[in-house]
Structure 1
């Protein structure tokens, strides 16, 4: 089993979309897979069950049928920073819950397991604990999603530096064109390819699915 943590250079850079693409591509390649989003804020009541839109998308993309409470064990109602929403609801964002949830999904024995974070890399959980502390204890390799927009160079370099400084391996990164009109897109992409200390796994064009062979190549690099 291969397992990776998917982070982003910021919130709203396409982590869930990239996670879905990789899971669906793995299924098309005949690889069993499952996604995991341990913490999600902004949940809505759906037939008596609190559901986060991103977690639901990951559940639907997973090649193994898994209940939503296993895909997303920590569900918070307000669409705000998770540690603030958790404090208001008197919920502890516990590393034990995150680790236990991961172990539950590991019991399905998927060939590929993708765990998606919330927001960017340095997500606070409260009481001086940050999500990377948990990822470090799990020794998971990291995939970084770069939202291609003005400022992405700084965000990408700082995030990559933080991942490596935390003692983790940056397996690779994904360039996600989130607007379709970034000035000097190709020049910025070339700079990232030249300066980031990990390979480009996949380039996701704006409003289009990447060519299948490129997606398959990315997944093979994760196998």
Structure 2
């Protein structure tokens, strides 16, 4: 079997990847589920991890977020919700930031626990690269500190060129390792779609790993055909 998640430009193999986006609601969960599906197809034990979630809803088991529930269902082993999402919040970034303090040691401990139970970990961020986990620090600082390779999800719409280039530049300037990006079509009627993809390929300093069409009800879809096997040689 090929090397799995080999960091770009390095010989070492890494066992986790962080999924960020150009904005909120651009398809981070879609890409996270696709990577979990690919790993499962290769017989690799894997799990999703969403350290911080927004817009969680009350359930009989406590606050839960739909995105984290999908990651829980897509994982190859049975995990309790709190292992997938230690920090669920009911509000958005704006409404939770002023009153919330996320303990990075807790995030790291949760990640380490999952790493001891599965072979590969897909970590999904919240919002964009600079989304705050409290009023002082973005989650990206934790990602860089933990040396987690990053995949950028670009929601394809008018204006995405600027968002994508700035996000990619920020990841690299902050010391992150950008191993690839994924195009996710969130506007099915966009006439300039192919031109945008071409420009993004020219200006994002990382390979395009996949191109996901507009897909409602992603939890019911096989997402693996939309990813480039050669570009994902570091994965499977």
Return the TM-score normalized by structure 1: 0.90
CA drift at 1:210: 4.7
User: Aligned-pair distance for 1:57?
Assistant: 0.6
* Structure holding more strand per residue: 1
Q: How many angstroms apart in 2 are the aligned matches of 1:219 and 1:47?
A: 39
Q: Tell me how far apart the structure 2 counterparts of residues 96 and 211 of structure 1 sit (CA, whole Å).
A: 33
Asked if 1 retains the 8 angstrom alpha-carbon contact of 2:212 and 2:226, the reply is: no
Unmatched segments (≥5 aa) in structure 1:
none
- Which residue number corresponds to residue 62 of structure 2? 49
Cα-to-partner distance string for 1:65-123 (whole Å, 9 max, x where unaligned): 21110000001122x116x42544xx42121111111111111132x211111000002
Q: 2:197 aligns with which of 189, 201, 214?
A: 189
More displaced 10-residue stretch of structure 1: 154-163 or 202-211:
202-211
Matched, 1:148 2:152: no
The 1:74/1:211 distance shift into structure 2, 3 A limit, reads: closer
- What RMSD over aligned residues (CA atoms) do the two structures have, in Å? 1.9
Greater helix share, structure number = 1
Is 1:158 the counterpart of 2:166? The answer is: yes
Paired position in structure 2 for 1:75: 88
Match of 2:52 among 39, 44, 50: 39
Number of aligned positions between the proteins: 218
SS at match of 1:13: coil
Confirm or deny that 1:107 pairs with 2:110: no
Contact map agreement 1:26 1:219 (CA 8 A) in 2: no
**Secondary structure at the residue paired with 1:145?**
strand
1:139-186 Cα shifts (integer Å, max 9, x gaps): 111000000000010000000000000111100000001121112111
Which of 71, 74, 81 is 1:58 aligned to? 71
**Corresponding residue for 2:27?**
14
Q: Which runs of 5+ in 2 are unaligned?
A: 1-13, 216-220
Change beyond 3 A, Cα 1:47–1:138? same
**Alignment equivalent of 1:123, drawn from 122, 125, 131:** 131
Q: In the superposition, relative to structure 1, how do residues 213 and 143 fare at CA in structure 2: closer, same or farther (>3 Å)?
A: closer
